[in-house]
Structure 1
């Protein structure tokens, strides 16, 4: 369903591409934004992303995508950014090059296991290339470990107890204690450019190769362990517990042990506590995955 009025989208596309829309179709994913595939006839196809934020959006994302693309990371070219006031609401548009392919996650049931493993290894190499970019201090989100307070940990534990059981809630409390200790004792790690949502759902695969990394909205400065931990927690089946494949590809460019710097458990628990505190809760399967990983990381 198109939420933004079509005439507004068409006006933005014409201002960037010089052509009117011939066909528009919503795309799955896109994070918090509207995302459309837009056909321009013989002028080709573009992707239009639309955000509703109080300040102009997509500016840092476009800058960081360009920096990553200059070192060989497959990202779409941003053709234009437009900010439009509609009935007192700011709409931010990012018109991007269309990349062929479908997400790696969408092809899980179609590809042989050997091809899935090869693609994940290739993805690990791409992740390492992203991490080779020196982050800009004034661009993107800065991802740091967050110290959970007692009230937050108690609220999450109550939710986990309701969804699973008291033993699982005790595991979450232990995870929060582990994270506090790590923050208190670990030195501040060096920062790199992190993609922010480097997961199979955001990797486009076409003709047997990873041809695009999409959704850079959460990119910014972070230790390399940040992206690795997100994959470990949220890659989904059949990629759960196959961080070894990502590390294998990563090693083509950089040392994955040095990248993790012992911080993967802390960043993973940090992310899991955020997931478990969402207002729209994670699924029971995600709850169980989080408890399983916290048990593993805390030595139980």
Structure 2
């Protein structure tokens, strides 16, 4: 039985017909809203071809390329903070020692519960009053990295807990210490399981860098605001920025899907090899 069937009853003919009807109605309503918005913009002259001409100029294209590079730099900086910190927090929360487990749990739950924007405001207004005033880049990157680390910690922990208990028992049975078992047996397998989820989390990190406008960091969103103030081409500018974000996130999503399929194929190949060589399935 699939997970979907375990959670939901299989829809009957009448239910499937109702779903199709509601889907068609929803699509028609959405198309009507988009068409109305397009018509209003057309009537106002906001979509005039002349308003798109500035985006064909090399200076504007270079401006967007620089903004995209700064967005990538901010996302990379947040990832450099989030991944190692998330791993440490996951190990702390999995630790049987309460001295490590409770602080890690408190950190994870705290930064998972509060919005990224609130942490950015703390770096903007609260910390400078205590003499801590980093640059605009770090005022964006550190809050995004801290909040993302809390999520990544749970991704790592879920990957470890998803492994069969027999993996740990097998490592202990051959004389490995608990630490060696985790480092050599459990964690490498958990890492392969969570890599697609980590790549997918990069989509959220890229979107969170849009908060750069709050601290005046010139990423895509802030650069678009500046360009709109100078050219008055609001619709065109934000449509271009939207397309850029969509393309970036689609590429990241495709990488996540590709990695998931690659790892699934590799695991299937190893399972088949073990079955052919031992006459049994993989040891759980």
The two structures have a TM-score, normalised by structure 1, of: 0.22
Report which of the two has the higher share of strand.
1
Report which of the two has the higher share of helix.
2
* Greater C-alpha radius of gyration: 2
